[in-house]
Amino acid sequence: MENIDGLTVEERLSLTLSALYESYGFLRYKTTKFEKYSLYTENENFLGTDRVITFTTDGGKLLALRPDVTLSIVKNSGFSNGGCEKLFYTEKVYRYDKESKSFKEISQVGVETLGDVDTTSMAEVVELALESLKKLSSDFVLDLSSLEFVTQMYDAYEIYDAELKKELSDCLEKKNNDAVEKLLVGGKISKDFADAFKAMLSISDAPEIALEKIKPLIKSQSMQRAYDELKALTDALAESDCYGGLRIDFSVVSDCQYYNGIMFNGYVLGMPKAVLKGGRYDGLAKKMDKEIGALGFAVYVGDLANAHHTKQKPMTLVLCGDGEDSDILREANKLREKGLIVRVTKTVPDDINADKIFKFENGELKEIK
């Protein structure tokens, strides 16, 4: 992490990541904090909740405090054919937190690619995700999954029941082998499928190893296509500096019907949950009548910043004592010129880590600590 004086950890992280995205030619996307409430009611499935902070304007319009940036970017994208729109943002969003049963302000820095999202664009976004993690910690892992491969596996084994798919998705997300076994014992799935599914569920490996494990699971042309896409993507990244942090792991799933293709979660050592989440969501663009590919991710910089306790820099105090105002200001500035952080105060504050204390006594500045 770059050390930039005077900024909070969150601001530093945002700046570092923004500089990274700018270096890839991504343009900053800036938006207001408010959005029409209807955007969120129409896309509740994508958002995963119907709880947003709303308010009514003087004109009677119902607005919401933005719970998500991606929806606004897709809605406002004028992109149609050829090439890609590449954007990044640094925004705060407001979401309902089930744990605390209240709304939380969440700081995100994110990337979105809209348009003709081919293997090159996908590889670039995944590389950016890997590079982002590297900026946060030297120990990182990016779990990459293919929803398409999972979906095609269901089709190949003729699993169409939505309730059963939900149960299987839950097994995948929790790496719950025993629950798959119970579905087999309960006669809900076949032995062949259970074996293949458990093999997929246990994968959490570097791409070369994982792809070897996936190969024998391919049962249809559609599964082969999904495998080829995953292989082409990881092959494209093989020479990247951050490739060592990439794993294939199918526990990255989503029940949201708008996600398709690849999904990924990023972890850094010392943080208990994913600090980066992303994936392909062509379905959302299609719902908004846009026949374009869409891929992006968000880094939860607020969570990362909260894990770092800011250490207060040592400060020099100048106690006013009986000093004249002009003398106090002049002497304080003299100390600042020496490179010290100087606070003028009447008494010693409890919350300040003072390494030196000066005081005006009989009109003269004396060092008392």
- Positions touching other proteins (CB under 8 A) are 139, 141, 143, 174-179, 204, 247, 251, 267, 269, 271-274
Cβ 267 to other proteins shortest distance, Å: 5
Minimum gap (Å) between residue 140 Cβ and other proteins: 9
CB of 135 to other proteins, least distance (A): 18
Q: What residues contact residue 5 under an 8 Å CB cut-off, 6+ apart?
A: none
* Amino acid type, 95: R
Q: How far is the CB of 252 from other proteins (least distance, A)?
A: 10
Closer to other proteins by CB, 161 or 355: give it. Answer: 161
Q: How far is the CB of 141 from other proteins (least distance, A)?
A: 4
Q: Report how far residue 296's alpha carbon sits from residue 110's, in angstroms, rounded to the nearest whole number.
A: 7
- Which residue number, 39 or 275, has a Cβ lying nearer to other proteins? 275
Phi, then psi, of 141 in degrees rounded to 5: -140, 135
Q: Of 74 and 276, which has the nearer Cβ to other proteins? A: 276
User: Cα–Cα–Cα angle for 201, 148, 209, nearest 5°?
Assistant: 45
Name the H helices within 36-118.
Answer: 37-42, 44-47, 70-76
Q: How far is the CB of 304 from other proteins (least distance, A)?
A: 13
Q: Which is nearer to other proteins, 81 or 100 (CB)?
A: 100
Chain centroid to Cα 253, Å, comes to 15
- Of the pair 270, 314, the CB lying nearest other proteins is at 270
> How far is C-alpha 20 from the chain's CA centre?
15
Tokens encoding 281? 């969501």
CA distance 224 to 232: 12
Q: Where are the alpha helices (DSSP H) in the chain?
A: 9-23, 37-42, 44-47, 70-76, 119-136, 147-156, 162-174, 177-185, 191-201, 207-214, 221-237, 282-287, 301-306, 325-337
Q: Which is nearer to other proteins, 101 or 273 (CB)?
A: 273
Question: In the complex, what is the shortest distance from the CB of residue 266 to other proteins, in angstroms, rounded to a whole number?
Answer: 10
Question: What secondary structure does DSSP assign to 257-319, as a single string?
Answer: TT-EEEEEEEEETT-SS-SEEEEE-HHHHHHTT---EEEEEEE-HHHHHHTSPPPPPPEEEEE
What token pair was written down for 278? 């992303």
> Which residue, 52 or 274, has its beta carbon nearer to other proteins?
274
